[in-house]
Amino acid sequence: MPLSMLNEAVREWERALGVENVTLDAAVLRNVSTATFATTARVGAVIRPGNTEEVQRALRIANRFRIPLYPIASGKNWGYGSRAPVRDGVLLDLGRMNRILAFDEDLAYVTIEPGVTQRQLQSFLRERKSSLWMDATGASPDCSIVGNTMERGFGHTPLGDHAGNACGFEVVLPTGERIETGFSRFEGSKTGPLSRWGVGPSLDGLFTQSNFGIVTRMSVWLMPAPERFEAFFFLTRKEDGLADIVDALRPLRLNGTLRSTIHIGNDYKVLTATSRFPWADDSVAAPLDGAAMTRLRKTLSIGYWNGSGGLYGTRGQVKEAKRQIRRALAGKVDRLQFVDDRLLRLMARFSTPFRMLTGWDISKTLKVLDPVYNLMKGVPTESTLGSAYWRKREDPLSAPDPDRDGCGLLWCSPVVPSTGKDVRAATTLASRIVLAHGFEPQMSLSLATERSAICVTTISYDRHVPGEDARALACYKALTVALLEHGYPPYRLNIRSMDFAQGNDQYAGVIAGLKASLDPNGVLAPGRYERPVAVQEATPLPVVAVLR
Amino acid sequence: MPLSMLNEAVREWERALGVENVTLDAAVLRNVSTATFATTARVGAVIRPGNTEEVQRALRIANRFRIPLYPIASGKNWGYGSRAPVRDGVLLDLGRMNRILAFDEDLAYVTIEPGVTQRQLQSFLRERKSSLWMDATGASPDCSIVGNTMERGFGHTPLGDHAGNACGFEVVLPTGERIETGFSRFEGSKTGPLSRWGVGPSLDGLFTQSNFGIVTRMSVWLMPAPERFEAFFFLTRKEDGLADIVDALRPLRLNGTLRSTIHIGNDYKVLTATSRFPWADDSVAAPLDGAAMTRLRKTLSIGYWNGSGGLYGTRGQVKEAKRQIRRALAGKVDRLQFVDDRLLRLMARFSTPFRMLTGWDISKTLKVLDPVYNLMKGVPTESTLGSAYWRKREDPLSAPDPDRDGCGLLWCSPVVPSTGKDVRAATTLASRIVLAHGFEPQMSLSLATERSAICVTTISYDRHVPGEDARALACYKALTVALLEHGYPPYRLNIRSMDFAQGNDQYAGVIAGLKASLDPNGVLAPGRYERPVAVQEATPLPVVAVLR
């Protein structure tokens, strides 16, 4: 019966979406269930609705046959699970829904569908010669904006809190019903894309990091290009230099001088962003140890901690902000460099004379600076993908694809208070645990809000090395547990670690109750940001293996 | 049976909370069911839990006897319903829970219970010689901060979006269960008060403007006192001058130069804030018409539109902001005055010579300016209460109490896009409708977010004049309907108008489903921000009349 059930559902989806939008090809199904770490869930089919109504129909069919559907937008959830589902199911690929539905230059927003990528919005704004900037996350230019927002990803401009700068969702509920959130639900409302709360209980938060509905449309806020943009870069050569820097910059975050995240990477982070593991060098072994890093910091002219931030405003505002930053960081950094478009072009062209003048070898650093600088202007970059290949011995055959190429990549992303004390505790802990598991502790600290920082720790490895998959997941787990114990819970989870999502039984019970209310058959992305509770699950999909 | 049910519940509450914390006194019950407009719902008892556990117990008892409980914090929800419930029920007064549980000067937050008032937090910060500022809403110093946040009230500093600057809720669910939201739910978490989203679906938004739970604790963000604060005041004598001003200021909101709301009142608004209706003057009749207002604007030296805003930053930042504002408003206002602490003191002392120097009679305006100025520094004020007495013929007998004194006050609060065109449309419409119903169209426009404004229209009248209650509610309804039709839905509703809360059947259905999941017996504040749907209601309380 289960086999005939899936077969019948597939036939229904083919009728509803067109045969060309339902894929059963074994190679494709294997690919989409592959991530940058070991996955276990199998994909029975990929279906591709072209509009909201088709999403509704797809869900109604899923309900009829009790088959779990896992929505993906661009599927670039690298480091957290790529396209792969939490449990066995069918992928609902929203990539075809890629229209930009509204755009307002004066009120600074766009309304988009889930298939709209960072690259697409960037081009759209350029083509229209818009004076507006978007925010971009460091992932890929081909990353979906809606998808990233649903994962509560963050970027590097003042609009970096993606979930906090989007509103007016259109949501298809697990039952196939359609609602709009906030003021968008009022017919003819002019404020749906402008104001987040609406009236009555605010539902937007429910649909991020959840399996309560599929967001098929949302409005995203943009910012007017500032009269002046400058970035600043700094480094400290002290191992314990980070704490002082955080304590110095927090007041500038709190008082509004710094309106966007400050991004501070450790030496490992910069190294892995710019190069590959030196397998040819017999004098080093994995994981690179303190001695190796001391040499490499010198070669690369980098510090233990290397930071960047953006300044947005009028000429006068940026000038004043620079004064504040200089004062705050005085005596706490070994270098502080302000950079603007002109200087960056000059640096690229004249890196040698520049080094002679300033003593700073900028050529290697530029490779890291350039994409970071552009991200602060909301321009997406390809470059961050590189670090996924850190431990690989061979180059990618074609355009990089970490899933395909067996790149191991796990991101552990605790949130810590923006105090030197907490940041020191979290980074020391993370460094120790990751090294003990045999990986390089690549860390970046983002002062993402006025009061808290996200300390992304990257575990990057080669999936083709036997045993590494298991070791990496064990490392991730040990790290997450230890950070939780120290009071630093994660802001985001990967598909293998959703059991960390809920704190206690009461809370898990409420989430389960809401899920039951919105998804009585449990067909939408069971297990996503959900503690495993048997009651909530839809019928598993034993048929998948047979089909494939 | 129903009578014995309530009686029995009351006995249980007395056992759980102490006899002294259960009130059945008829006069008290009448008072608490009285608002600044006609109310219909009756209150059967007032119960006052002293801590979270007692709130849980109170709710469990309510569930056992199916008696609706309506939580109030300070009950200063003036203009929207004061303490009165939406339907018959028992009031759960959280006023005794007034502890400030945590305070962090570096990370700039406090954790408070619902009974904590604006005045209390203000004193707390002063006593500790804290360098932090709170935000304050214009209501009363005795207004509850949690209560105002739950209604999504707003203030005048950069932290003015109250719901957007609070997190880490402790919530007692309708069933009596207790949860914590965001990162607060993780035991030992250090980021609960600092970061809003947590991990997994974010629930905070569910508990504002809803009947899904009682927030018994929350963290509220504060801001470091800026190195420099200046306010600016402006006015235009052109009836249609508002549109240009909004179009000029929106870019400064969007680019971060203006980090807090700009508040722009019309002539009626300033008049009613500073004086009473001139009943003794035979030459005018209610509502005051155009000719009367022309004279009064002259007498009061005010414009058609009178605005204010705050500038927060370093000396350099404020100086640069002033330059931007001067440039933006040039040619669009008839006056622009920057004010700081020193000037305000001087103005108060030397208003006559000041008038001679500047030509501006500041003495009357000061009466309005002073509280507005302080609100922009987060200092709560008593003064705004005055306007509730605008149409009254007699002075309050003791400290003002609009509920007791028969002050008629209804606030209609549509959200409009921050464009000249929309603001013109909404204010013209509101003015016409309010005048047609015989009231003065007191309006204030708050550029509350970067993209949207809240246009609060006050209907203020004398409840002791027969027929006025009905006329005022009819005016409110006509106004809300017309604004909705034009695309401007309200940000907040009064207890008699909750039927405006939901846009369509699908949305109302989802809200009803969530309610059923969280409150199976429908005991928590039935009808609050809920479309009347018979199925959702708890047993009505026919016993109340008998008891009283």
How confident is the model at residue A360, as a pLDDT?
67
CA B534 to centroid of chain Cα atoms: 29
Which contiguous run of DSSP H or E holds residue B7?
helix B2-17
Percent of chain A with pLDDT over 70: 95
Chain A contact set for B422 (CB, 8 A) = 190
CB of A223 closer than 8 Å to CB of A158: yes
- Side chain identity at residue A149, one-letter code: T
Q: In sequence order, what are the beta bridge partners of A104?
A: A109
Among B73-77, B165-169, B361-365, B507-511, the minimum mean pLDDT is found in: B361-365
* Cα gap B251→A266, rounded to integer Å: 38
Pairwise CB contact (< 8 Å): B491 & A199:
yes
Q: Choose from A132, A134, A204, A255 for mutation: most chain B CBs within 10 A.
A: A255
Under 8 Å CB-to-CB from A249, ≥6 apart: which residues? A258, A262, A309, A328, A329, A447
A209 with B201: Cβ contact below 8 A: yes
Residue A185, min C-alpha distance to chain B (Å): 5
CA distance A7 to chain B (A): 31
CA dihedral (B372, B376, B378, B379) positive or negative: negative
Answer yes or no: do B199 and A517 touch at CB < 8 A: no
Residue A322 distance to chain B (closest CA, Å): 11
Nearest to A527 by CA among A13, A3, A69: A69
Task: Mention every residue, 6+ apart, whose C-beta is less than 8 A from residue B294.
Answer: none
Min Cα separation B253/chain A (Å): 10
* Smallest Cα distance from B127 to chain A, Å: 22
Contact residues, chain A, for B314 at CB < 8 Å: 255, 257, 320, 324
Contact A197 B205 (CB under 8 A): yes
B169 within 8 A of B217, measured Cβ to Cβ? yes
Q: What is the pLDDT of residue B3?
A: 65
Task: Using CA coordinates, name the residue in chain A closest to B454.
Answer: A195
CB spacing of B209 vs A200 below 8 angstroms: yes
Q: How far apart are CA B105 and CA A402, in angstroms?
A: 45
Kindly write down the DSSP assignment for every residue of B230-276, as one continuous string.
EEEEEEE-STTHHHHHHHHHHHHHHTTS--S--EEEEHHHHHHHH--
Q: Which two tokens stand for residue B112?
A: 């408070």
pLDDT at B31: 97
Lateral strand order in the sheet of B166-172 = B100-104, B109-112, B214-221, B166-172, B178-180
Q: How far apart are CA B350 and CA B340, in angstroms?
A: 15
Give pLDDT tens digits for B453-502.
999 999 999 999 999 999 999 999 999 999 999 999 999 999 999 999 87
In this predicted structure, the answer to whether residue A363 has a pLDDT above a threshold of 90 is: no
Angstroms from A501 CA to nearest CA on chain B: 6
Residue in B closest to A448 by C-alpha: B195
Residues of chain B contacting A258 with CB distance shorter than 8 Å: none
Stretch A42-56: mean pLDDT: 98
Q: What is the DSSP letter of A331?
A: T
Closest CA to B37 of B509, B470, B518, B361: B470
Are A56 and A178 contacting, i.e. CB atoms less than 8 angstroms apart? Answer: yes
Minimal Cβ distance to A205: which of B205, B416, B493: B205
**Of A492-506, B290-304, B480-494, B532-546, highest mean pLDDT:** B480-494
Task: Report CB contact under 8 Å: A195, B109.
Answer: no
CB contact (8 A) between residue B197 and residue A319: no
Q: Is the confidence at residue B361, as pLDDT, over 70?
A: no
For residue A118, the tally of other CB atoms under 10 A from its CB is 26
Cβ-defined contact of B255 to A223 (cutoff 8 Å): yes
A128, A83 contact by CB (below 8 A): no
Residue A467, C-beta contacts closer than 8 angstroms, at least 6 positions apart: none
User: Reduced to 3 states, what is the DSSP secondary structure of residue B106?
Assistant: coil
| Angle at alpha carbon of residue A413, lines to A165 and B183, rounded to 5° | 70
Q: A246, A314, A451: which to substitute to probe chain B, counting the most B Cβ within 10 Å?
A: A451
Q: What is the mean pLDDT of residues A265-289?
A: 93
Given A108, A191, A487, which is nearest B416 (Cβ)? A191
Minimal Cα distance from A499: which residue of B? B200
Which residue, B475, B463, B407, is CA-closest to B438? B475
CA distance linking residue B70 with residue B102, whole number of Å: 27
pLDDT band at A535 (very low <50, low <70, confident <90, very high): very low
Bond prior to A380 in cis (omega within 30° of 0): no
* Spatial separation of the C-alpha atoms in residues A169 and A182, rounded to whole Å: 8
Checking if the pLDDT of A540 tops 50, the result is no
Three-state DSSP class for residue A429: helix
Residues of B in contact with A243 (CB under 8 A): none
The pair of three-digit structure tokens given for residue B3, joined into one six-digit string? 């009578």
Residue B369: its pLDDT value, please?
80
The answer to whether the bond into A287 is cis (omega within 30° of 0) is yes
For A158, nearest residue in chain B (alpha carbons): B256
What is the average pLDDT across B217-221? 98
What would the pLDDT profile of B112-159 be if each residue is shown by its tens digit? 999 999 999 999 999 999 999 999 998 889 999 999 999 999 999 999
Chain A positions touching B489 (Cβ under 8 A) are: 183, 186, 189, 191, 198-199
B172 DSSP β-pair partners: B178, B214
- Which residues, 6 or more positions from A253, have their beta carbon under 8 angstroms from its beta carbon? A262, A418, A447, A449, A450, A451
Look at B449 and A517 and tell me if their CB atoms are within 8 Å.
Answer: no
Q: What share of chain A in percent tops pLDDT 90? A: 84
Q: How far is CA A320 from the centre of its chain?
A: 32
| B368: pLDDT strictly greater than 80 | no
Q: Are B47 and B11 in contact (CB under 8 A)?
A: no
Determine phi and psi for A147, rounding to 5 degrees: -55, -45
Comparing alpha-carbon positions, the chain A residue that sits nearest to B527 is A200
> How many beta-carbon contacts under 8 Å exist across A and B?
291
Decide if A502 and B259 are in contact by the 8 Å CB cutoff. Answer: no
Mean pLDDT over the full length of chain B: 93
Mean pLDDT over residues A312-318, rounded?
97
pLDDT, tens digit, 9 for 90 and up, residues A320-347: 999 999 999 999 999 999 999 998 888 7
What does B398-442 look like in DSSP terms, one character per residue?
Answer: SS--TTTTTEEEEEE-BEEESSHHHHHHHHHHHHHHHHHTTS--E
Which of A208, A418, A450 is facing B201, going by the closest CB pair?
A208
Quote the minimal CA–CA distance from A260 to chain B in Å.
12
Res. A543: pLDDT tops 60: no
CA distance B178 to B171: 6
Checking if the pLDDT of B411 tops 90, the result is yes
Question: Hey, are the CB atoms on B257 and A501 less than 8 Å from each other?
Answer: no
CA distance B384 to chain A (A): 24
Which of B199, B207, B488, B518 has the most A C-beta neighbours within 10 Å, making it the best mutation to test the interface with A?
Answer: B199
Q: Which two tokens stand for residue B206?
A: 């569910």
Say if the Cβ atoms of B488 and A190 lie within 8 Å: yes
Selected for mutation to probe chain A from B59, B103, B106, B209 (highest A CB count within 10 Å) is B106
d(CA B528, CA B544): 20
DSSP B128: T
Instruction: Please name the member of A191, A452, A518 whose beta carbon is closest to the beta carbon of B489.
Output: A191
Does the pLDDT at position A86 exceed 80?
Answer: yes
Task: Calculate the CA A84 to chain-centre distance.
Answer: 15
Residues in chain A with CB shorter than 8 Å from the CB of B173 are 510
Q: How far are the Cα atoms of B158, B266, B415 from residue B447, in angstroms, in the given order?
A: 12, 14, 10
Helix (H, G, I), strand (E, B) or coil at A179: strand
Average pLDDT, stretch A169-183?
Answer: 98
State whether B317 and A257 contact (CB < 8 Å): yes
- B214-221 and B166-172: which strand pairing? antiparallel
Determine the residue among A109, A135, A228, A450 to mutate to test chain B binding: the one whose Cβ has the most chain B Cβ atoms within 10 Å.
A450
pLDDT digits (tens, 9 = 90+) for A406-417: 999 999 999 999
Assess whether pLDDT exceeds 60 at residue B533.
no
What's chain A's average pLDDT? 93
User: Given B194, B324, B450, which is nearest A314 (Cβ)?
Assistant: B324
What pLDDT is attached to residue B378? 97
pLDDT of A350: 82
- With bands split at pLDDT 50, 70 and 90, how would you rate the model's confidence at A1? very low
CB-CB: which of B205, B210, B506 is closest to A179? B506
Residue B394 Cα, gap to closest chain A Cα (Å)? 36
SS3 label, residue A184: helix
Could you tell me how far CA B502 lies from the centroid of its own chain?
Answer: 20
